[in-house]
Amino acid sequence: MFKNITIAIDGTAASGKGTLARSLSKEFNFAYLDTGKLYRASAVIIKKADINYENIKDIKKVIRNYDFSKFDFLNNSLKSDEISKLASMISGYKELREILLEYQKYFSNKKHGDKIGVILDGRDIGTIVLPEADIKFFVTASLSIRAERRWKELISLGQSTIKRRVEKDIRDRDVRDSQRKHSPLVAALDAILLDTTNLDANESFLLAKRYVEERLN
């Protein structure tokens, strides 16, 4: 029976986990799912449906019936400060997490053409979504370097924002993501820790690539 090789990448906001996941998936021919985008997309859908973010009953109803394959995941609004904050707030709901977990499991077990496996990045991949993952990374970096990276990204997307505010939003998000009751952000005990504070994207990639090569051989 076919079995995907699974790689779980978790980490703090703007730590570089998405860039790393994308590069590794290209290098080793894996299918890639950015699970943060599911939470961000949920935030956009809730906002469009004009539902109060505290109304979990209605959130559940609208998200359960939503066909995520129709969502435009390339939309720049997913990255906005407002959606980042809303996504972090609604991600505390167990009911929402359960719905999105089903989709993540479905994606992980499915065969994706000629891909040899799947890479998922997020906050609870190595602990909840893929506790049996073949390889796990936990990526982090100092708050100031993460704020700098996210600020540059937002500016490049044409969104006007100030660095201090980006830093505060990231700090608040880290606190919410790691202190929530359900599936908090935490490194799995068997995760490889990658601190990218002093590494650029390519250096982080080369380091992680060596670990993947070692485990695949």
Hey, what are 97's tokens?
Answer: 């997490």
Question: Counting contacts by CB under 6 A, is residue 123 touching ligand DC?
Answer: yes
Contact 87, 37 (CB under 8 A): no
Type of residue found at 210:
R
Q: Return d(Cα 55, Cα 13) in angstroms, integer.
A: 25
Contact 6, 108 (CB under 8 A): yes
Site string for ligand DC, 83-122 (x = CB under 6 A): ----xx--x------------------------------x
CB of 88 to ligand DC, least distance (A): 3
Q: Return d(Cα 202, Cα 20) in angstroms, integer.
A: 9
User: Please, which residue, 4 or 19, has the CB nearer to ligand DC?
Assistant: 19
Question: Counting contacts by CB under 6 A, is residue 138 touching ligand DC?
Answer: no
Question: Counting contacts by CB under 6 A, is residue 151 touching ligand DC?
Answer: no
Question: Counting contacts by CB under 6 A, is residue 177 touching ligand DC?
Answer: yes
Choose the stretch contacting ligand DC; rule: CB under 6 A; options: 34-42, 66-74, 162-170, 202-210: 34-42
Of 173, 188, 191, 204, which lies in the binding site for ligand DC, with binding defined by CB under 6 A?
A: 173
The SS3 call for residue 128 is helix
The SS3 call for residue 11 is strand
